[in-house]
Amino acid sequence: MELFRIRFINKIRPDTIEIRYRAVLKSHSSDTVFEGHQLFLRSYLDTTILKSGEVALKAIFNIFSATPKDLVLDQVAFEQSHDRSLLQVPTKQFFDQYVIDNDMLDRGVHHQGEDGKPMIDTKLVTELRIG
């Protein structure tokens, strides 16, 4: 098992919304294991998937699908948009439920709670970047 982290960076422009993401190992080498981006044209966009943060969760699912199963997600860093009417970060509860519902539990740091239900320990960090 090897830990990795994902970082999301957004660029909102007058005509487009771009979401970039990079998965890197948490080892000293910090090797990039996956890099991707999605570009949405605002004139043809239903923002529902962006407002819920689901677009990021789908990107994480793609990363899980394309990387070896022994890579385990330890942390996700989201960039909070300045315009939350267009783009939002998923809540911890939404993230946890998405991971469980899509059978991705073994791809994230987790443990079993006292009630026997899975508890997801993958850390979600939200940053507000200026500039």
CATH number of domain containing 6 = 3.30.420
Number of structural domains (the chain) is: 1
DSSP bridge partners of 120: 110
What local confidence, expressed as pLDDT, does residue 22 receive? 97
Tell me the whole-structure pTM to 2 decimals. 0.90
Strands 123-127 and 71-79: parallel
What local confidence, expressed as pLDDT, does residue 130 receive? 61
Pairs from 63-70 (Cβ < 8 Å, separation ≥ 24): 63/6, 63/21, 63/23, 63/34, 63/36, 64/104, 64/107, 66/34, 67/4, 67/23, 67/33, 67/34, 69/106, 69/107, 70/1, 70/2
Q: Which domain holds residue 79?
A: 2-127
What local confidence, expressed as pLDDT, does residue 29 receive? 80
pLDDT along the chain (131 residues), means of 10: 94 94 90 95 90 93 94 94 86 94 93 90 86 51
